[in-house]
Amino acid sequence: MNHKVVTFYAIELPNVESVIGYQKKVFNHFGLDIEQIPFTDKLPHPHSEAMTNYLSNNQWDSVSIFDVDSIVTSSETIERAIDLISDKNTIYGNAQATHNELPFAAPNFLNLTREVWDRTLEIWNKDQDLHRDIFRYQTYHKDGKEIMCDVAERFNIEHRKIGTKILVSYPVKNEGIPEWKYTGGNGYKDFEWGNGTWFDSKTFHGSEIRYPHKQQVFFDICEKILNNG
């Protein structure tokens, strides 16, 4: 099976070489590799466009997508993700929620198979009102309200409609005071996350790495893992 592990990063990212260097070292520390794909912030929706372009134009059977400030914390992280999506009808990733709407599998750790991607393309081909950039943050309407969703959230929403299983991993620890919260409901438990969150998927997400003052948490955790195993 051709399983890809990939991340996407802006070439304009402050301290970009340190960020991608630390990420790769941590993956290698656990005997894993990651393909780090650059894009430019000059694109209208750079991160989501890079994700859509990669999945549409490369050969792969299944994929694990990470944010550039996300890392594995175990050699078993990827193997477990592959097992969880092996039914070819599951999207698995770290939990996130926008405006306290239903949690979704976020792009800081997002896993899917080619079969799920093929169904994604079918969904988008049938509905021309959806942006051609599949992972773009965009608005949708619910209960008479217009809601802005985050990167990959609409991807989750559309898959829920056709019965794709959405499996989320919850935060287990935050390095600082959490900045965001989901209050629970609809079968999902409450959770908090922020700048430096550990997930039960055995991953760590620094969050908002584009801000230099938020990078140190990511660097410190990488150093801790590299020095202490």
Give me the pLDDT at residue 184, please.
82
Q: Please count the other Cβ atoms lying within 10 Å of the Cβ belonging to residue 25.
A: 14
* Chain centre to alpha carbon of residue 188: 18
Give me the pLDDT at residue 84, please.
98
Chain segment 24-43, per-residue pLDDT in tens: 999 999 999 999 999 987 76
Which structural domain, as residue segments, surrounds residue 218?
A: 3-228
Looking at the 3D structure of the chain, how many domains does it have? 1
Give me the pLDDT at residue 141, please.
67
Distance, in Å, from the CA atom of 23 to the CA atom of 17, rounded to the nearest integer, reads: 10
Give me the pLDDT at residue 160, please.
95
- CATH code of the domain covering residue 132: 3.90.550
* Chain centre to alpha carbon of residue 13: 18
Distance, in Å, from the CA atom of 55 to the CA atom of 82, rounded to the nearest integer, reads: 17
Below-50 pLDDT ranges, the chain: none
Say what the pTM is. Answer: 0.93
Cβ atoms of 99 and 134 within 8 Å: the answer is: no
Give me the pLDDT at residue 44, please.
64
Q: Residue 24 is encoded by which pair of tokens?
A: 């790769």
Give me the sheet containing 90-96, strands edge to edge: 35-39, 3-10, 62-67, 104-113, 90-96, 165-169
